[in-house]
């Protein structure tokens, strides 16, 4: 009979599940996330799977991981170093060990530590025995065996039984961190409603894991993380790609325009196409094109014909679309291009995150071809920026590039779901009156009229050759060209009057401003908060609008002695800031295909503040 | 509706389709004839209101075409006309979408979009202005130029074998494949009408004379004294007969076509290959395509093949309707609040 | 030279073509078989020194292939393998250049380069790993997926008609068109050898099982109890016979192929269509291509068509030699000081 | 009997020939240029033809023009405002009149001023009579008639006779500017050797024009421009595109590598492909690809196989090539991309010049994909920069983008032909030793070894995925990626140690530096020289290397109080300078599809110097 276990309170925990691509770690991780979110913690996750589809079992490169960070406070990153590692085999241990906190907890499936697997993980001796794990709290659990025992006498094959062991691990973790198992049981019942024996097996494994924690002597302590104080409302976990898809769906509903997506699959952007292809009942048209060029060009055609036109891709795909985006600039049609940034150059690191497409987005076209460039800062922010990108494209009759990245695209966080009527209306007026219609006669926002095919008496022709101001006919006149070049630039610049100002979080002026853009928001925010807690005088500002910049940017920058710009590239925002505002900046560039470590940013902040860190 | 349309189009004349733009092709260019035949036939074949007609093109002399039609028009970028047209058609399937393109535009840089449009059977009409040369860039050989052609970029003769456009369209399983010639105005009008009536990707290759950079490329097919002996006009259900006085015919040995002489009584019309453009199999179209590569064979003009199968755009619309019925018209609220949610109070 | 080569290759074994990289396809993937058959056959078919072999690919699971061959290799970008290979071959025509590609890589984004390579008859060998799915991006339908296929991007079924790869290659006038199947290892080896021996663009479609995202796509062609009735093995000069006990044959009515029963004595081998892969006309290849689209017809494997005509690379080299002879080897001095010059003293 | 005509000496003259596309103005202009160069003047030309191939006769948009500027001094531009206009019809007059110097000479073909042509030129009344031409010295010459008379009794058709009238105009101009007609006669004999009657007709027309000047009372004065003092040597007229082609041919010879060009025709770059296709006897392989992507990718294949690999294009084509250029960056193969810039965005103004592809060249790729970027400054400079681009590509195993533009590509100037042995040798070593071969083991210049297929025992694989440092195998390790990103950037940055420093022409420090790049060199130089002559303190520096910049750039800029940057774009170099050196600059941006007017730059210099222009 096991004695009462003590329950220890923690404010935050970072867990990493790791195992074979086939071990179902992504599922285990997301189940733990759902439950954890459900019990009211703030949570942030980061899946990390290999480029290979199903790498051979036991290999290091085949290890699939899922990290999650939950807390009783608000948090903004998946956590730097995990407090807990669940390693389903030696390769998983080998690959992740170095990143685990000293004195962290390591739970391993001892059954997987046989000669074959050790060899595959390039272990000469068994790390469970040779002291490799000194300095960690290690729990060796014969997970495979225990699962088999638990499933004694089911009709399942050994192979199928083996596949349930991740539920055992999940159950054990639920026990260890004092979470209910009911959510997952409900999920299992829904998921496997077609094969009851799986429901039974998985549930048994889950319970077995939970009870094992309770029974075994090994575990003396349990941990608890009390709910965070989140604003009241209805919540769901959401990834950036899912939020992006919903955002455009919302933009379609709010503008009353049918959504057209022309896209070609590419990691990590494919999900958006996949999500949107489900919304046929909203009249959403998803077209899986023959290539990226076809994706964007078909979208330009759809824009001409009156749709809310969208194309989605990642770096290499954006490179292919540049010529066509220039056509959309010249024809001044509303078009949104989503670029989910990944590791480059070239094919680079397809499944990893990076921020190195900023300058491509702003400058990567022939001629002077200005477009608006936006960037989402968190998974849930993708929803709002998708709507915003659509609003700007439609109001200004212009292409808009929305940048996200592999991290926020695949990472998740809880999202307080907005009510539909809290969403901005986007009103669009097609041109219908013949009287005074000229294809390039601009309104107060310098936008030209949108007269779509099917409108009587407004037949007109557009194209990629230079246009006559107002009339829109082909025009080779030198002064007209000069005029049009400036008009197109001015139209984009004017958007600065229509977007929120750059806000400073923390002191409104002082020693140091940490300035970022896009997906690094969470890491920078957490770093700045912690630095301040350590007594450093540091503030944060973060861009969601890269072109044009918010109007007050120059003024904000002047208020700080130093500006630190952390980017997952070689300093692309830094370049823009320097040329635009002629101020020097401190760069911090770590390009490892991963989000920033909060601790690294804190270090850099310290270093930048030098002696006087405000105390 | 039907009626309204009738009324609306009934009134139209060729002039109604002429835009106010002055036509800027070289004097004598075959493009003028194509434009004229299109404007002449459109009042008849356009069954939708005029404002529902859209002309799309890429880049090239031929791609200036949309500027001269008083319809909605989009002069795109080089090679992308078929996919630009696809986007327009998918966004609004009730539009009548036409593509004017050149042999470089459609078959060189644009080849992929072309074969994919054919494969998907998008309901767009593609008129290929095939002058076997790059006109706008001033005379380089194109993917339809004959091997050995001397041009600015092939001073010693090109080493490329040309594409056979109708063969490529057939290989991509286009549902409508036809050919005509700029100077054969009546026939060209006939073909444009057929294109207009087809539902699905309609491909019409038009031999077009570029009198500046490739003059006379098709003269044996257009000169009074040579054309009859070199052009085979395909007619549905009729034996394949050609020649000044219809003295020659096409006979099929296995699937090798041969020219036979009908004058010496050895062969009669009954021995000849009867044309059937509605044949399901693409093989006939393939055989007809080989004529131009076979010495001694006449050049077939007319409809090589026309089959009907649901178009992509139709399929897309039907799927949307189906899903709306099945799941009910989408509600944003339901989507956002769907999935795993929880309350925080 | 000849001898040196003989000697050099004579010694090679399958192992010599295996690189030190661990193979990273999913366990059970059909790609393993293709790799094995290539490595097995190469010692026999490679008539050049090993260092003259180059493997080129685009992006996809299949495109990882070059990493596993111990030859020169270039893992290119998506869709560009045929043209990357073209550049390698034109720069050094003595190289033996092979392309490993997928149905998305070659036929979706890469379609244009593919048809142009076929048209130009560049001497490269193209192995299409056709699993009818996008593997590397985790399971979206591809241009060879059957219509109505439910995938991540077509939850209600795709509305695309698929390409017929051998038909497209035929329409592009490829000089070698063949098909085989990953699990038919002997036959696959045979076909790889044939590809190796061909001079000109050689296209081999290989049905490949993606056991993760499209498992069983070809099972009726590979399962012991169904394959004989569904696979027609083409053999030069032989009548087309298939079935467990060779009881079925293909008879041609006009150009419509039909399956006939040989068991009831009504038809005999003499009534059947005799295969002739060397036929000049592309029509046979077109007909054979239609089998897979015609219910009740078996799937042909083997060489659909092989014709010989000068390759582009050959033509380019010959032209260079010709001009060198005609004008003499170029001298820079002559070029710079050629044309209209004048002296300033 | 005509009385002796006076001969007036001029130091420089700008002439513009204008007429129908069919009138042979390009030929007339180039003949006048050849002869003028031959007699020893310095000369600079600018052809200007319509986008249409053969626009209908008499229309304004169909007017084809050819401007040339010759002098007894060194000159650097085709001249701002012509002193003389030769207008073959009303449309030619209408289109060009506004640009002619006040009191300039206008020679018109009066025969062409009939009702039809006047209408086509949108003239309500005849400008020869209604005072439109007041303030100009007008010579109305019935050129058509006179030509017909001169050709009385030839076997030619009226149409053919009409086609010779440009030779009449040419002859007249030869007389007026005291140039010999023999050059052109020789040319005619060569050109028409197959049809003697054309030789006779054209020669007659030429002589008739020349004699007409001599005979008629109308012309009282002739003009002469004495030879310029040019360095001794052998000269030829050369256009930028021709020079570019010769440059790569030379690079091939000097490096001993076969030249491979994969290209797709596009205005104004097509000539380069056309010129190089003639050099088969040098083993040059020109491949007219199916599109731009095919052009560059085939070139990458050729580079892998050991060729000097080249692709040529213009703006929209460069946009299409960007993804592939990234592959060349990752695989570190030598590749030269020539971009002959034209008016953008999109199809823009295909036959006009512009400088708006600079940022695309530097930043227009996904990920951090650094390449070297060079720009030629004059037609003849294209020759040397082509060699330099090849040298850098081969030495550093990197893609190099060479920027030229429509103006220097089509414009011509005299070129003192260098002797072949005065040209730089480019030595290339293919890797052959197996011992110690690693595909990404770098030399002192951080270049990786070039081991080409066909080399025994060096079989290896490269590709677009991130490479392991040294070994070159596929590698997903975060720190390796960070390392490689920095190595690739460092390699390009290091090129600054291998290129000439930025030179200042004029005072080495002071009030104002006019800083330019590429094809604006001539206009800026002439403006600076003239400004200095007017007593202004102004110097010039000009970039041929845009990435990296010459090492001493920052130091040079510091020496001047103000920096003025004239560009035919919205300030792309200005952006780079500001972010790189944090100095403010004065921009001067005129984007009219035409080269700068010298006078405009002088005005801007005045304005920038404000009151104190140094005096
Ligand atoms: C991306 C791009 N590449 C190349 C060009 C240059 N270009 C314009 S038209 C053309 C080919 C024209 O030939 P074709 O399509 O046969 O039309 P045609 O002029 O003969 O009617 C080319 C290569 C371009 N405008 N854009
Ligand atoms: C320019 C570009 N677009 C898209 C992708 C994403 N992508 C990689 S492989 C692939 C398709 C793979 O399918 P297939 O060619 O059939 O190869 P398979 O994996 O099935 O062997 C796609 C869309 C990419 N890497 N690059
Ligand atoms: S160049 Fe040829 S194709 Fe183009 S307009 Fe002139 S004649 Fe027609
Ligand atoms: S995903 Fe499919 S094609 Fe790719 S490796 Fe796995 S099984 Fe093979
Ligand atoms: Mg053409
Ligand atoms: Mg596939």
> Going by C-beta distance under 8 Å and a sequence separation of 6 or more, which residues neighbour residue A433?
none
Alpha carbon separation from B171 to B114, B282, C122, D276 (Å, rounded): 12, 8, 19, 35
Report the C-alpha gap between D515 and D541 in whole angstroms: 5
Find the closest chain C residue to B312 by CA distance.
Answer: C159
Residues A83-103 pLDDT 10s: 999 999 999 999 999 999 999
State yes or no: pLDDT of A615 exceeds 60. Answer: no
State yes or no: pLDDT of D430 exceeds 80. Answer: yes
> Going by C-beta distance under 8 Å and a sequence separation of 6 or more, which residues neighbour residue D452?
C92, D304, D305, D306, D430
| Contact flag C155-A277 (C-beta cutoff 8 Å) | yes
- Per the CB < 8 A criterion, the answer to whether A280 and B324 are in contact is yes
Q: Which one, of A44, A45, A41, A52, lies nearest residue A26 by Cα?
A: A45
Pocket flag, ligand 2, residue C131 (CB < 6 Å)? yes
Residues A254-297 pLDDT 10s: 999 999 999 999 999 999 999 999 999 999 999 999 999 999 99
Pocket flag, ligand 1, residue B144 (CB < 6 Å)? no
Pairing of strands C125-130, C53-57: unpaired
Q: Among residues of chain B, what percentage have pLDDT more than 90?
A: 92
Contact with chain A for residue B118, Cβ under 8 A = no
Cα of C104 vs centre of ligand 6, distance in Å, is 6
Pocket flag, ligand 4, residue C212 (CB < 6 Å)? yes
pLDDT at B339: 83
Q: Which subunits count as partners of chain D given 3+ CB pairs below 8 Å?
A: A, B, C
Which of A34, A233, A309 is nearest residue B340 as measured by Cβ atoms? A34
Q: CA of D424, closest CA in chain C: separation in Å?
A: 14
Q: Is A363 helix (H, G, I), strand (E, B) or coil?
A: helix
Interface test with C, best of A54, A286, A288 (most C CBs within 10 A): A288
| Contact flag A270-C154 (C-beta cutoff 8 Å) | no
* D456: chain C residues, CB-CB within 8 Å: 49, 51
| Contact flag B84-A300 (C-beta cutoff 8 Å) | yes
- Which pLDDT band, with edges at 50, 70 and 90, does A217 fall under? confident
State yes or no: pLDDT of A530 exceeds 90. Answer: yes
pLDDT at A3: 60
Token representation of residue C84: 């990357």
Mean of all residue pLDDT scores within chain D: 95
* D40: chain C residues, CB-CB within 8 Å: 342, 344
Q: What average pLDDT does the segment C109-128 reach?
A: 98
- Which pLDDT band, with edges at 50, 70 and 90, does B17 fall under? very high
State yes or no: pLDDT of B79 exceeds 80. Answer: yes
B residues 258..287 contacting C (CB < 8 A): 281-284, 286-287
- Which pLDDT band, with edges at 50, 70 and 90, does D612 fall under? low
State yes or no: pLDDT of C3 exceeds 70. Answer: no
- Per the CB < 8 A criterion, the answer to whether A386 and A364 are in contact is no
Q: CA of D190, closest CA in chain C: separation in Å?
A: 12
Contact with chain D for residue B136, Cβ under 8 A = yes
Closest Cα to atom 6 of ligand 4: C26
Q: CA of D129, closest CA in chain A: separation in Å?
A: 27
Report the C-alpha gap between A244 and C185 in whole angstroms: 46
Quick one: angle between helices C81-91 and C111-120, nearest 10?
40
Q: Among residues of chain B, what percentage have pLDDT more than 70?
A: 97
> Going by C-beta distance under 8 Å and a sequence separation of 6 or more, which residues neighbour residue A520?
A355, A377, A566, A567, A568, A595, A596
| Count of A-C CB contacts under 8 Å | 67
Among the bound ligands, name the one nearest to the CA of residue A340: 2
Contact with chain D for residue C222, Cβ under 8 A = no
pLDDT at C157: 97
Residues A336-363 pLDDT 10s: 999 999 999 999 999 999 999 999 999 9
Helix and strand numbers (H, E) in chain B are: 12, 12
Pocket flag, ligand 1, residue B142 (CB < 6 Å)? yes
ipTM value of the model? 0.96
- Per the CB < 8 A criterion, the answer to whether A289 and A261 are in contact is no
Residues D300-321 pLDDT 10s: 999 999 999 999 999 999 999 9
Pocket flag, ligand 2, residue A318 (CB < 6 Å)? no
- ∠ CA C36-C41-C47, nearest 5°, is 140
* Ligand 1 atom closest to D292 (CA): 3
Q: Which of A288, A316, A322, A339 has the most ligand 2 atoms within 8 A of CB, as the residue to mutate?
A: A316
pLDDT at A611: 65
* A316: chain D residues, CB-CB within 8 Å: 323, 326, 366
pLDDT at D542: 98
DSSP for A418-479, written as a single string: PPGGGSPP---------TT--TB---TTSPPP---TT-TT---EEESB-B-TBT-SB---HH
| Contact flag A286-C77 (C-beta cutoff 8 Å) | no
The beta strand positions in B162-269, using DSSP E, are 176-181, 202-207, 231-233, 241-242, 248-253, 256-261
Q: What average pLDDT does the segment A546-569 reach?
A: 98
Contact with chain B for residue C153, Cβ under 8 A = no
Report the C-alpha gap between C120 and C175 in whole angstroms: 10
Report the C-alpha gap between A295 and A306 in whole angstroms: 17
Find the closest chain B residue to D348 by CA distance.
Answer: B77
State yes or no: pLDDT of C9 exceeds 50. Answer: no
> Going by C-beta distance under 8 Å and a sequence separation of 6 or more, which residues neighbour residue D41?
D70, D71, D72, D225, D227, D228
Q: Which residues of A318-341 are buried (b: 16+ CB within 10 A; e: fewer)?
A: bbbbbbbbbbbbbbbbbbbbbbbb
| Contact flag C120-B161 (C-beta cutoff 8 Å) | yes
pLDDT at D615: 44
Lowest mean pLDDT among A562-571, D59-68, D493-502: D59-68
Contact with chain A for residue C22, Cβ under 8 A = yes
Mean of all residue pLDDT scores within chain A: 95
Pocket flag, ligand 4, residue C211 (CB < 6 Å)? yes
pLDDT at D459: 98
First to last CA, chain A: 55
* B11: chain A residues, CB-CB within 8 Å: none
* A70: chain B residues, CB-CB within 8 Å: none
Residues A421-450 pLDDT 10s: 999 999 999 999 999 999 999 999 999 999
Q: CA of C162, closest CA in chain A: separation in Å?
A: 12
Cα of A319 vs centre of ligand 4, distance in Å, is 27
Report the C-alpha gap between B33 and B23 in whole angstroms: 12
Q: Which one, of D477, D475, D482, D447, lies nearest residue D461 by Cα?
A: D475
pLDDT at A155: 87
State yes or no: pLDDT of A53 exceeds 80. Answer: no
pLDDT at A1: 43
> Going by C-beta distance under 8 Å and a sequence separation of 6 or more, which residues neighbour residue A130?
none
Report the C-alpha gap between D496 and D484 in whole angstroms: 20
Q: CA of A245, closest CA in chain D: separation in Å?
A: 23
Mean of all residue pLDDT scores within chain C: 95
Which of B79, B135, B152 is nearest residue D274 as measured by Cβ atoms? B152
Q: What average pLDDT does the segment C42-67 reach?
A: 96
Residues B252-289 pLDDT 10s: 988 899 999 999 889 999 999 999 999 999 999 999 99
| Contact flag A463-B49 (C-beta cutoff 8 Å) | no
Interface test with C, best of D453, D455, D462, D472 (most C CBs within 10 A): D453
Report the C-alpha gap between B213 and A223 in whole angstroms: 83
- Per the CB < 8 A criterion, the answer to whether D139 and D213 are in contact is no
3-state per-residue secondary structure call for chain C: CHHHHHHHHHCCCHHHHECCCCCCCCCCCCHHHHHHHHHHHHHHHCCCCHHHEEEEECCCCHHHHHHHECCEEEECCCCCHHHHHHHHHHHCCCCEEEEEEEHHHHHCCCHHHHHHHHHHCCCCEEEEEECCCECCCCCECCCCCCCCCCECCECCCCCCCCCCHHHHHHHCCCCEEEEEECCCHHHHHHHHHHHHHCCCCEEEEEECCCCCCCCCCCHHHHCHHHHHHHEEECCCCCECEECCCCCEEEEEECCEEEEEECCCCCCCHHHCCECCCCCCCCHHHHHHHHHHHCCCCCEEEEEEEECCCCCHHHHHHHHHHHHHHHHCCCCHHHHHCCCCEEEEC
Pocket flag, ligand 4, residue A54 (CB < 6 Å)? yes
pLDDT at A580: 98
| Contact flag D344-A326 (C-beta cutoff 8 Å) | yes
Token representation of residue D71: 């002098």
Contact with chain C for residue B170, Cβ under 8 A = yes
Q: What average pLDDT does the segment A497-513 reach?
A: 97
| Phi–psi pair at D502, nearest 5 degrees | -75, 120
């Amino acid at each position: 009979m096991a004695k009462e276990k003590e329950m220890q309170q923690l404010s935050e925990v970072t867990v990493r599940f790791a195992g074979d691509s086939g071990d179902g770690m992504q599922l285990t991780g997301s189940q733990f996330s759902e439950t954890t979110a459900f019990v009211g913690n703030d949570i942030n996750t980061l899946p990390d799977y290999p480029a290979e589809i199903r790498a051979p079992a036991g290999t290091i490169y085949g290890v699939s991981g899922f990290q999650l960070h939950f807390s009783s406070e608000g948090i903004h990153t998946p956590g730097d170093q995990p407090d807990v590692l669940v390693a389903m085999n030696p390769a998983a241990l080998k690959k992740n060990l170095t990143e685990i906190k000293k004195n962290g907890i390591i739970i391993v499936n001892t059954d997987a530590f046989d000669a074959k697997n050790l060899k595959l993980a390039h272990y000469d001796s068994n790390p469970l025995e040779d002291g490799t794990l000194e300095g960690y709290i290690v729990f060796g659990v014969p997970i495979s065996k225990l699962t088999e025992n638990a499933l004694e006498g089911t009709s399942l094959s050994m192979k199928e039984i083996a596949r349930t062991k991740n539920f055992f691990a999940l159950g054990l973790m639920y026990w260890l961190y004092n979470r209910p198992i009911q959510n997952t049981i409900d999920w299992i019942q829904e998921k496997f409603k077609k094969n009851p024996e799986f429901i039974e097996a998985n549930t048994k494994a889950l319970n077995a894991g939970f009870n094992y924690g309770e029974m075994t002597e090994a575990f003396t302590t349990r941990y608890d993380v009390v709910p965070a104080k989140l604003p009241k409302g209805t919540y769901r976990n959401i990834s950036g790609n899912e939020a992006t898809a919903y955002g455009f769906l919302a933009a379609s509903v709010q503008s009353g325009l049918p959504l057209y997506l022309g896209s070609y699959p590419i990691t990590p952007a494919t999900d958006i196409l996949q999500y949107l292809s489900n919304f046929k009942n909203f009249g959403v048209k998803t077209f899986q094109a023959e290539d990226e060029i076809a994706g964007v060009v078909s979208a330009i055609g759809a824009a001409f014909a009156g749709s809310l036109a969208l194309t989605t891709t990642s770096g290499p795909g954006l490179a292919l679309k540049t010529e066509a985006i220039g056509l959309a600039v010249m024809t001044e049609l509303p078009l949104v291009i989503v670029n989910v940034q990944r590791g480059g150059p070239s094919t680079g690191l397809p499944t990893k995150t990076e921020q190195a497409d900023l300058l491509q987005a702003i400058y990567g076209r022939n001629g002077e071809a200005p477009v608006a460039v936006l960037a989402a800062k968190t998974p849930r922010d993708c929803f709002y920026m998708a709507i915003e990108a659509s609003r700007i494209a439609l109001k200004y009759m212009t292409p808009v590039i929305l940048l996200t990245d592999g991290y926020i695209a695949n990472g998740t966080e809880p999202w307080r779901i907005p009510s539909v009527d809290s969403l901005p209306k986007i009103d669009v007026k097609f041109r219908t009156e013949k009287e005074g219609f000229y294809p390039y006669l601009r309104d107060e926002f310098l936008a030209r009229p949108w007269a779509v095919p099917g409108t009587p008496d407004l037949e007109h022709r557009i194209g990629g050759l230079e246009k006559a101001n107002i009339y829109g006919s082909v025009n080779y006149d030198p002064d007209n060209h000069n005029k049009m070049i400036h008009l197109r630039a001015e139209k984009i610049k004017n958007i600065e009057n229509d977007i929120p100002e750059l806000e400073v979080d923390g002191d409104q002026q002082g020693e140091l401003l940490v300035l970022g853009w896009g997906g690094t928001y969470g890491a920078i925010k957490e770093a700045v908060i912690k630095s301040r807690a350590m007594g450093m005088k540091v503030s944060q500002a973060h861009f969601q609008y890269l072109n044009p910049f918010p109007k007050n940017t120059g003024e904000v920058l002047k208020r700080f002695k130093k500006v630190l710009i952390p980017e997952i590239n070689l300093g692309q925002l830094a370049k823009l800031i320097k040329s635009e505002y002629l101020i020097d900046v401190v760069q911090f560039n770590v390009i490892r295909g991963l989000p920033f470590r909060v601790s690294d940013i804190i270090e850099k902040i310290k270093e930048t503040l030098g002696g006087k860190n405000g105390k | 509706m039907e009626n309204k349309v009738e009324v609306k189009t009934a009134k139209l004349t060729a002039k109604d389709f002429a835009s106010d733009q002055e036509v800027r092709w070289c004097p004598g260019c075959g493009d003028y004839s194509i434009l004229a035949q299109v404007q002449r036939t459109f009042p008849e074949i356009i069954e939708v209101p005029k404002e529902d007609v859209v002309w799309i093109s890429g880049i090239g002399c031929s791609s200036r075409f949309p500027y001269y039609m008083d319809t909605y028009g989009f002069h795109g970028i080089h090679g992308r006309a078929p996919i630009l047209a696809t986007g327009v058609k998918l966004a609004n399937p009730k539009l009548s979408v036409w593509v004017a393109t050149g042999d470089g535009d459609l078959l060189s840089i644009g080849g992929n979009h072309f074969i994919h449009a054919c494969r998907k059977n998008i309901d767009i009409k593609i008129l290929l202005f095939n002058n076997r040369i790059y006109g706008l860039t001033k005379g380089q050989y194109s993917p339809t130029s004959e091997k050995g052609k001397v041009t600015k970029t092939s001073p010693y003769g090109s080493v490329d074998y040309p594409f056979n456009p109708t063969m490529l369209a057939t290989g991509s399983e286009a549902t409508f494949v036809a050919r005509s010639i700029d100077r054969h105005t009546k026939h060209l009008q006939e073909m444009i009408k057929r294109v207009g009536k087809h539902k699905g990707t309609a491909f019409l290759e038009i031999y077009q004379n570029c009198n500046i950079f490739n003059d006379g490329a098709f003269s044996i097919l257009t000169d009074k004294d040579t054309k009859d002996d070199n052009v085979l006009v395909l007619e549905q259900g009729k034996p394949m007969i050609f020649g000044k006085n219809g003295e020659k015919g096409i006979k099929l040995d296995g699937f090798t076509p041969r020219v036979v002489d009908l004058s010496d009584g050895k062969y009669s019309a009954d021995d000849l290959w009867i044309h059937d453009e509605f044949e399901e199999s693409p093989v006939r179209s393939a055989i007809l395509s080989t004529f131009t590569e076979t010495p001694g064979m006449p050049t077939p003009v007319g409809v090589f093949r026309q089959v009907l199968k649901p178009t992509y755009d139709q399929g897309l619309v039907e799927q949307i309707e189906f899903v709306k019925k099945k799941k009910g018209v989408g509600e944003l609220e339901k989507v956002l609040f769907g999935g795993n949610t929880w309350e925080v109070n």
